[in-house]
């Protein structure tokens, strides 16, 4: 779910929802998927149909696929710890880069462009990419997410409920969260 959408839903629910950002690596290693294939394109089309307002671009078969999602996640974790007020802007820039520009989020120059768009110092990119603790944490969070049944992004995990994974219309997120809040109030 786009960062701006999370903020919007949290505001609608009067702060009764707390989002905890966790990492899920679409490509934990480098070069796992060299190009967009039928599988990814089919899922991208489905996401575009389910949530057209998000502006998904459908790549051509064979278009180069991002090298890895690890560098972008390292940057996001670094920004969350160092400049938390810029986190939403960075996540929105990373989203646009990968889903509407088809940019390679493993490319440090793409990450620097996203950092600039979020008003994050570009030096943060180099710091994040050189930090082995961030890489280790990203891999650990990925393993935890997979253990909870997460298979893709975005994902919403509410304790006691099955994860909601993929491009889901905002109304479904709202319904699920409102139902959980109402059930909690009734108990």
Count CB atoms within 10 A of the CB of residue 69.
24
Six token digits for residue 18: 């707390």
The answer to whether residues 63 and 102 touch, using CB atoms and an 8 Å cutoff, is yes
Q: State the Cα–Cα distance between residues 57 and 31, nearest whole angstrom.
A: 21
Q: What pLDDT does 108 receive?
A: 97
Handedness of CA 22, 141, 37, 125 (dihedral sign): positive
Buried b / exposed e over 84-107, threshold 16 CB at 10 Å, is: eebbbbbbbbbbbbbbeebbbbbe
Q: Among residues 24, 107, 126, which one has the least CA distance to residue 66? A: 107
Q: Say if residues 72 and 101 touch (Cβ distance below 8 Å).
A: no
Residue 186 has pLDDT above 60, yes or no: no
Q: 50 pLDDT exceeds 90?
A: no
Cross-strand pairs, 35: 64
Q: Is the pLDDT of residue 69 over 70?
A: yes
Residue 27's pLDDT is what? 72
Two tokens at 47? 């996401």
Cα angle 118, 121, 122 (rounded to 5 degrees) comes to: 95
**Average pLDDT in the 117-125 region?**
97
Where do the H-state alpha helices sit in the chain?
A: 3-12, 38-50, 70-82, 87-95, 108-117, 123-129, 132-147, 170-186
* Rounded CA separation 132/155 (Å): 25
pTM: 0.83
- Tell me what percent of the residues of the chain surpass a pLDDT of 70: 93
């Amino acid at each position: 779910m786009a960062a701006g959408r999370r903020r919007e839903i949290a505001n609608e629910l009067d702060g009764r929802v707390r989002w905890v950002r966790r990492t899920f690596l679409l490509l934990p290693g480098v070069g796992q998927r060299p190009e967009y294939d039928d599988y990814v394109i089919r899922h991208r089309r489905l996401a575009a149909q389910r949530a057209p307002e998000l502006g998904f671009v459908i790549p051509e078969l064979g278009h180069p696929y991002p090298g890895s999602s690890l560098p972008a996640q390292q940057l996001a974790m670094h920004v969350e710890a160092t400049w938390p007020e810029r986190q939403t802007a960075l996540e929105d820039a990373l989203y646009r880069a990968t889903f509407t520009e088809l940019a390679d989020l493993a490319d440090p120059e793409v990450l620097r462009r996203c950092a600039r768009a979020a008003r994050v110092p570009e030096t943060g990119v180099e710091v994040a990419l050189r930090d082995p603790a961030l890489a280790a944490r990203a891999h650990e969070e990925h393993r935890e997410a997979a253990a909870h049944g997460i298979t893709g992004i975005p994902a919403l995990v509410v304790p006691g409920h099955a994860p909601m994974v993929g491009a889901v219309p905002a109304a479904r997120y709202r319904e699920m969260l409102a139902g959980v809040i109402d059930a909690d109030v009734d108990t």
